[in-house]
Amino acid sequence: MTFTKSLIAISITAVLCVACSNETAQMTKANNQLPVESVTQLDSTAAASQAANELFDTIFMEGVNRNPVMQTYLGIKTDYDKWQDLSEENSAKELAFAKEALLRIQVIDVDKVDKQTKLSYKLLSQKLEQQIEDYQWRHHNYPVNQMFGVHSRVPALLINQHSITDVKQAHDYIARVKNSKVLLEQLIEQLSIRAEKGIIAPKFVFGHVIRDSKNLIVGAPFDDGADSTLYADFNKKIATLDISDTEKQALTAELTSALTTEFKAGYQALVSYLIQLEKKADNTDGAWKFPQGDKFYNNALSRTTTTDLTADEIHQIGLDEVKRIHDEMRLIMTKVGFKGNLNEFFEFMRHDPQFYYAGDDAGRQRYLTEATDLINTMKGELDQLFITKPKADLKVKKVEAFREKSAGKAFYQQPAPDGSRPGIYYANLYDMAAMPTYQMEALAYHEGIPGHHMQIALKQELEGIPKFRKFGGYTAYSEGWGLYSEMIPKEIGFYQDPYSDFGRLAMELWRACRLVVDTGIHNKKWTRAQGLEYYVSNTPNAESDAVKMVERHVVMPSQATAYKIGMLKIVQLRAKAKQALGNKFDIREFHDVVLTNGAVPLNVLEDMVNDYIAKNR
């Protein structure tokens, strides 16, 4: 699962890239071998394409320059002391920027640009049109919840993205700590606007958010406890600076003041507001309760899956996939000699101690070490599956203590574009009973290699495509690839242990159940209890997994449908290409088609595969 896009409300008006220099160079070389009229045409196409991409790049950088958080994620330190603007006024400005950007790109003559630039134009036009159309739904969400939100973004960004390599960056860190008070005041205003519209998170959300917010203002320098999260992080970072101890002490004193005044006041105000708002909350879970909730949810499904599938169709696909995977699991159950029915096998997998490491430091370290070994082994086999591979490295880390209670079981964080930070596969080891060893293999492949790291790191490194394509995305594409990546290692000899293969199926089953439960909650008015019962009855996962998943469905309508819908499309397109090309089909070339154009909607991916088939038939 990738959370970077969820964590930042990035305006799509942040768009594009550098000129297609490689492509232009290739055209220049070809010019010497073509008739004059062809040379003129190539020059004209190259020039028009370069101009279009420069416009895309300008629009993208304008968007980045308006968003300090996005800058930090991209390794840009221009507004390193600031946060993004959450005000209604700024939302209206972003809408105006989107409308203006759409008008600016509409002057491009798409008949005069190359194929890649045509695709960029199509994707950007669609993104801007959808941003404008979706302005009406800007309040149909929960700005703070147990999965993500402004309250957790503040410490997460400071700890994981805000590096300190000089004194100025230390002062920027302190300024961000101070400025968090204004950010949280804007957050409270946004929560108030939603409350007036009847958009209030269910009661269960408040305990998570209040607890996580309170956790940030305990410990030194707030009280006599161990160092607080940010206090410890800051002091660790400035310890490496080449400055005197006196200067370091002065910086720590500045941070102490910022934490105990503005930062503490901001989080206390947020907690107080949430305690009052909780009194207005109920236990209604589905998006159908929002104003025009059905219309909103259908739109959300369309955006998430990049298809026109209805809620009923997605629900049925989920039911069908659950049945198919159950049948495959029964074969493994027979292979390992288990006597009993599938639910009894689930119970065995859920509780037998052979599948779980100890919930202590040694057990957690063992998990991290073995997950790292799995990824390193897969790195050595990538030539069987891929032509193009990312340059960025990948590291495995456990989720930090301040957010491990509410974070998902695993997720991926993209590397810094400048190479200063590797991609990270985060494993949540807070509850080791929710991290069975039989799922370790599939989880590492999904979040790491050949999953999100192959797809996202490679996308950032592509040349000749605009930045909005490098840094934007489509959930069905990226999560579809992640789930597909759990399957393809089996085709080259991995999952030799039948229990690990069961784990692969269990992960796929989990995603199939998501189709059923997401549409159940948001379209069919299921309760959280009904969703929980469906997961517990149909999967081997720990009940704690099911609780977190159902609660995720509630606060992120449609998001969880992306995985299985995306995977099914990739598998379908691969089968189509294999049937059409026969012996000419090369899995590495197919993966190049899927990955080397960056993230695209599923209908565009289908067009690209059709082109690949036509060229190689």
Q: What is the pLDDT of residues 434-491, one digit of tens each?
A: 899 999 999 999 999 999 999 999 998 988 889 999 888 899 999 999 999 999 999 9
At 29, the pLDDT band (50, 70, 90 cuts) reads very low
Q: What is the pLDDT of residues 136-189, one digit of tens each?
A: 999 999 999 998 999 999 999 999 899 999 999 999 999 999 999 999 999 999
Q: What is residue 569's predicted lDDT score, i.e. its pLDDT?
A: 98
Percent of the chain with pLDDT over 90: 86
Domain for residue 142, yes or no? Answer: no
488 and 408 part of one domain: yes
Q: What is residue 404's predicted lDDT score, i.e. its pLDDT?
A: 86
123 and 160 part of one domain: no
Percent of the chain with pLDDT over 70: 93
Q: Which two tokens stand for residue 134?
A: 């979706």
**What single string gives the DSSP state of each residue in 455-518?**
IIIHHHH-SSS-HHHHH---HHHHHHHHHHHHHGGGGGT---SHHHHHHHHHHHHHHHHHHHHH
427 and 530 part of one domain: yes
Q: What is the pLDDT of residues 243-267, one digit of tens each?
A: 999 999 999 999 999 999 999 999 9
Domain for residue 145, yes or no? Answer: no
What's the total number of domains in the chain? Answer: 3
Of the candidates 601, 602, 561, 559, the one whose C-alpha atom is nearest the C-alpha of residue 6 is 559
- Residue 266 to residue 438: CA distance in whole angstroms: 43
101 and 174 part of one domain: no
Beta partners for residue 425, in sequence order = 396, 412
> What range defines the domain where residue 23 resides?
4-137
Domain for residue 506, yes or no? Answer: yes
Domain for residue 409, yes or no? Answer: yes
Residue 453 or residue 30, greater confidence = 453
Asked whether the predicted pLDDT for residue 431 surpasses 50, the reply is yes
Domain for residue 599, yes or no? Answer: no
Q: 568, 584, 608 — which closes off a domain? A: 568
Domain for residue 84, yes or no? Answer: yes
- Residue 39 to residue 202: CA distance in whole angstroms: 64
Residue 416 or residue 330, greater confidence = 330
101 and 154 part of one domain: no
- Residue 134 to residue 127: CA distance in whole angstroms: 10
Q: 262, 286, 310 — which closes off a domain? A: 286
pTM of the shown model: 0.85
At 306, the pLDDT band (50, 70, 90 cuts) reads very high
356 and 315 part of one domain: yes
Strand order in the sheet with 423-427: 394-398, 423-427, 410-413
Average pLDDT, the chain: 92
At 40, the pLDDT band (50, 70, 90 cuts) reads low
Pairing relationship of beta strands 410-413 and 423-427 according to DSSP bridges: antiparallel
Residue 6 or residue 245, greater confidence = 245
Domain for residue 322, yes or no? Answer: yes
- Residue 483 to residue 197: CA distance in whole angstroms: 37
Residue 38 or residue 612, greater confidence = 612
Do 259 and 222 meet the contact criterion of CB atoms below 8 Å apart? yes
R_g of the chain computed on alpha carbons:
25
Question: Which CATH number is 104's domain given?
Answer: 1.20.58
Helix, strand and coil content of the chain, in percent to the nearest 5, comes to 65, 5, 30
3-state secondary structure 413-427: ECCCCCCCCCEEEEE
Asked whether the predicted pLDDT for residue 43 surpasses 80, the reply is no
Q: 70, 105, 137 — which closes off a domain? A: 137
Asked whether the predicted pLDDT for residue 14 surpasses 90, the reply is no
User: Which single residue is written with the structure tokens 């941070």?
Assistant: 255
Q: What is the pLDDT of residues 56-76, one digit of tens each?
A: 999 999 999 999 999 999 889
450 and 549 part of one domain: yes
335 and 466 part of one domain: yes
104 and 216 part of one domain: no
399 and 259 part of one domain: no
36 and 65 part of one domain: yes
